[in-house]
Amino acid sequence: MIKSYKIIIITQFIMLLIFSFGFYRVENDSDIPLIPAVQLMLIGFSPLILLGISIIIQKMIVAVIHSDSANNETNKEVPNDEFWKVSFRVSVIFGALTFFLSILAVVLKLKVGVVNYDYVNRFFVSLGILIISSLVVSLFLRIKESVSEITKLLGYLMLFISIIIFTVCLYISIVNVLTIRSYGGENVVESLNYVPETEEVSVSEEVESEGEEVESDYYGFSGMSFPEIKTNEYFKDLFGDQKYDDAKIQDLTRLFLSSFLVLEKDQSFTSIRIAIERGFAYDEEMKVIDNKIRRNPEAIKESFDSYSPFLYAFVSDKIYFETNLNLIVDALIKSHDDIYEAENPEQVLGEIYKTMIFGSKKEFPEYYYKEINSYASENVLNLIKKNAETNSDGDNSAVDYSSQLNTVWIYSFWARRFKEKNSDVVFEILKEVREHYGAN
């Protein structure tokens, strides 16, 4: 039996303050634009969990306070506790509704995500809103009881105000933390997700509009073979699988160049980007390798050092420059320089990443371009625009649209690499590639 509702409410506040201060400086490094079903239900159940813990603590406190009292005294409720009792009941209703809504979202398979990178702080703020609103609603209900003796109209008004406060606070507490995310073709998280990107895999509308996977081997990579090249067969150790011998790696290299990058003469930034998106969407073996080494800088470096001889053998100087791979490499290196010449590069990368992840309902690509292009140099912007102008007809895309999209793609590339903690090794590899092929 609950003997002091006041202690329960006060305990909730104290616990919330402790948790808030404890998690205030926690960095939210995990990339969770979408919340898994179990975590979503746990978030919905959290108000009731907080209440349950507070009830247990209340029982302990009351037991200590009344340890020397007679049994008939300890079984009485604390006097003047009606206000706190109503507040407690409102909190229970809040908790029941949030839990019900989380279950409903899971049943309806809604794609629920966080609204901003500081979602942990927002979560505790929302819990605080629920607790404070329960007190406010309780206050208005107590006023209702008093004014109803004078006029029923005022009583109904107080009840109506209480309902409005309850509904608005419940809504604010939810939207402060969560949002229903739409992953349509114009969503930048989906459009730029795999280049390679963050964990969520999808194909943008641009890729889907191309139809089924396109078979193309413009340079005849499938017929190339270099048996004289021997490596240390790093993947055998990395995967613990003997199938990854040099012959297998040559097969993967052919696949990567012909079916993944789909290298052809005079490619645009847009066509290369679409080819990469399609490659990650359709090729399971590339996904396996990507997932294995993506967040492991040492594995990325070892893989490149071991198998770059195959890359340089398959991609001749002629192919490298004809396909405009040199322009992509130059743009990536120069964009890296732009970012790291800033006063606080890590802050810039963080801002770009937040824009990409938490701007999913904004207009694409205009919104993202406006947020990111201030970090770009005229040199890189001109390089991207010139490529868009040259290939506008072939890409069947407006120059401004292609320029903005590819600017976002190139600069957000480094934000993703920074988030995956592999930006340094990727930058060194790009410089090594440029040095190997030289200038055109």
Distance of alpha carbon 80 from alpha carbon 78, whole angstroms:
7
Four-residue CA torsion sign, 208, 210, 213, 217: negative
Give the whole-angstrom CA distance, residue 172 versus residue 374.
33
**Cα–Cα distance, 103 to 42 (Å, whole number):** 10
With pLDDT > 90 as the criterion, what percentage of the chain qualifies?
A: 50
pLDDT tens, position by position, 131-143:
999 999 999 998 8
Q: Is the torsion defined by CA of 97, 102, 107, 110 positive or negative?
A: positive
Q: Calculate the alpha carbon distances from 116 to 16, 123, 161, 411 in Å.
A: 20, 11, 31, 20
- Reading the block at residue 357, the tokens are 């992840």
User: Is 137 in contact with 90 (CB distance < 8 Å)?
Assistant: yes
Least confident of 237-241, 268-272, 284-288: 284-288
Which band of pLDDT confidence, cut at 50, 70 and 90, is reported for residue 42?
very high
- How much of the chain, in percent, has pLDDT values that exceed 70? 83
Q: Give pLDDT tens digits for 316-341.
A: 999 999 999 999 999 999 999 999 99
Give the pLDDT band of residue 193 (cuts 50, 70, 90). Answer: very low
So what's the pLDDT on residue 69? 54
Query: Which residue, 160, 62, 51, is CA-closest to 98?
Result: 51
| Residue owning tokens 């005229």 | 378
pLDDT digits (tens, 9 = 90+) for 226-264: 999 999 999 999 999 999 999 999 999 998 888 788 888
What pLDDT does 129 receive? Answer: 94
Max Cα-Cα span within the chain: 99
Name the residue among 188, 192, 28, 2 with its Cα closest to residue 84: 2
Which pLDDT band holds residue 362 (cuts at 50, 70, 90)? low
Does position 201 have pLDDT exceeding 50, yes or no? no
Q: Is 390 left (phi over 0), alpha (psi -120 to 50) or beta?
A: alpha
| pLDDT of 320 | 95
Residues 6+ apart with CB under 8 A from 28: 117, 118, 119, 120
Return the pLDDT at 181.
Answer: 56
Q: Is the pLDDT of residue 166 over 90?
A: yes
Q: What span, in angstroms and rounded, lies between the C-alpha atoms of 386 and 324?
A: 12
Cα–Cα distance, 62 to 59 (Å, whole number): 5
DSSP-derived letter for residue 260 is I
- Answer whether residue 122 shows pLDDT above 60: yes
Q: Which residues contact 284 (CB under 8 A, 6 or more apart)?
A: none
> Could you tell me which residues come within 8 angstroms of residue 83 by beta carbon, excluding any fewer than 6 positions away?
138, 139, 142
* Cβ atoms of residues 305 and 293 within 8 Å: no
Give the whole-angstrom CA distance, residue 105 versus residue 246.
49
Mean pLDDT of 41-60: 92
- pLDDT for position 74: 46
Q: Are 314 and 221 in contact (CB under 8 A)?
A: yes
Instruction: Look at the block and give the residue holding tokens 């998690």.
Output: 23
Distance CA 388, CA 365 (A): 15
Q: How confident is the model at residue 94 (pLDDT cuts 50, 70, 90)?
A: very high
Instruction: State pLDDT tens for residues 388-435.
Output: 999 988 888 899 999 999 999 999 999 999 988 999 999 999 999 999
Cα(first)–Cα(last) distance of the chain, in Å?
Answer: 82
* Whether 252 contacts 178, CB under 8 Å: no
Report the Cα 427 to chain-centroid distance in Å: 23
The per-residue pLDDT for range 22-32, each reduced to its tens digit, is 776 554 544 45
pLDDT-derived band at 56 (thresholds 50, 70, 90) equals very high
Q: What does the DSSP 8-state code read for residue 182?
A: P
Mean predicted confidence (pLDDT) in 5-21: 89
Tell me how far apart the alpha carbons of residues 263 and 266 are, in angstroms, rounded to a whole number. 9
DSSP summary character for residue 363: -
Parallel, antiparallel, or unpaired: how do β-strands 112-114 and 178-180 relate? Answer: antiparallel
Is pLDDT larger for residue 110 or for residue 53? 53
In terms of pLDDT, which residue wins out, 195 or 136?
136
- Which pLDDT belongs to residue 145? 85
Dist CA 389 CA 402 (whole Å): 9
DSSP 196: S
pLDDT score for 393: 87
Assess whether pLDDT exceeds 60 at residue 71. no
One-letter amino acid for residue 391 of the chain: N
Work out the mean pLDDT of the chain and round it to a whole number: 83
- Total-model pTM: 0.61
| Contact partners, residue 382, CB within 8 Å, separation at least 6 | none
